[in-house]
Structure 1
Amino acid sequence: MQVALRIEKADPPDRTDLLIAAARAVALLCLDDRAGADGPWAAPMDAWCDARIRKIARRARGAHWQAAQEVWGVTASHGDAQARAFVPGRVGGVDARVRRLQIGGTDVDGELPSAPSGAVGTLVLWINPTLEMTVGKVAAQVGHGSMLGVALMSRDEARAWFDAGCPIDVCAADEDRWAALLEGDRRGSAIAVRDAGFTEIAPGSVTVIAQWAA
């Protein structure tokens, strides 16, 4: 799955807003009716889920961002930030309008909050405090976390969450909270994202932990 992060040179978005937009775009795409059993996106989505799930975040701006809106996918926003998740496909078959977007240059300013908003019905995605990752890498990880986090919800909760636009908080965990979240993953009250290690970090690294604020 390719994810485009809108980062205009003259007016880049806030880091937290951009990561929330990326995570929300992935969740909205995965839960979209078009990705369901009888939808036009069903076959590529099923093939992706049955294989090794990968995500690649790219930088988009100006006319290239506008052109990317024509490719199958879902655009989400948060604050002044926007991101678009595209229906997945083979690495060699990426649409030219997406392929020409840069993979590097995704870093933007901003500090992640250390605590969630506390709003009921929000999926909280906690970032590992011990890893050094670019914004693009983190965007891919929170996108994965938003997918896995749905497993923490009941069917009715997942439907209500989708209907509400998939509200998400992205936060930086401190080491004590991270240890508690890892224990929550072991107990089944939270879900961890473990990276395959293709880029930036070692295979098996836990990058994000999703926690459901029911």
Structure 2
Amino acid sequence: MNFGIGIPTYNRWDLLEETLGKYIIDFPYVDIHVYDNGNQNIPSSINGRKIYVHSCGKNIGVAASWNYLIDRIFEKSDFALILNDDVYLGKQEAHIRLLLEQKFDFAVTPLDWCAYIIPKKTYEKVGRFDENFYPAYCEDCDYHLRMKKKGLALFKTPFLIPKVYRASMTMEKDPQSFYKANHNSLQYFKKKWGKYPEELL
């Protein structure tokens, strides 16, 4: 059961640089893909270990970044472990492989989608994330609803709760963009589904 790691990043290379140094130790034989939405000049190797850095020179948003990373990972693997750039999972390759032995449609933390594992079979059945949720927010709720319509369920597991969780630091770095993106995505979600996420999930 092979898996790859995907990490989209926008403005927290200062946090991700430290974390990648740990991931190359935790996951010595796992491909790590990073999508740089903020032109942060991320190096293609960390301590001699190759990191696959992708970018098109502009911010394509969370949903598009997830799609891109998942597409790359599924070229070689059957599972994609997607992580935020401001968390450190604190697990090792063997731990993830044990989790993959369980049957699930989609594994995610009970907190939010800062860490999740999507199987290739789920991605093929549900489809790609809706890139109209731009630049961020509500793409997770939308995917959850689409999964439910396909008869699939989230497997919320504390196992995926990151050892280090620094989401508030990311929000503090650019609060205006955070609130604007959240508002725009909520309005698109309501237009698409007729109600807000909390009314449907």
With the shorter chain as reference, the TM-score category is under 0.3
| TM-score (normalised: structure 1) | 0.26
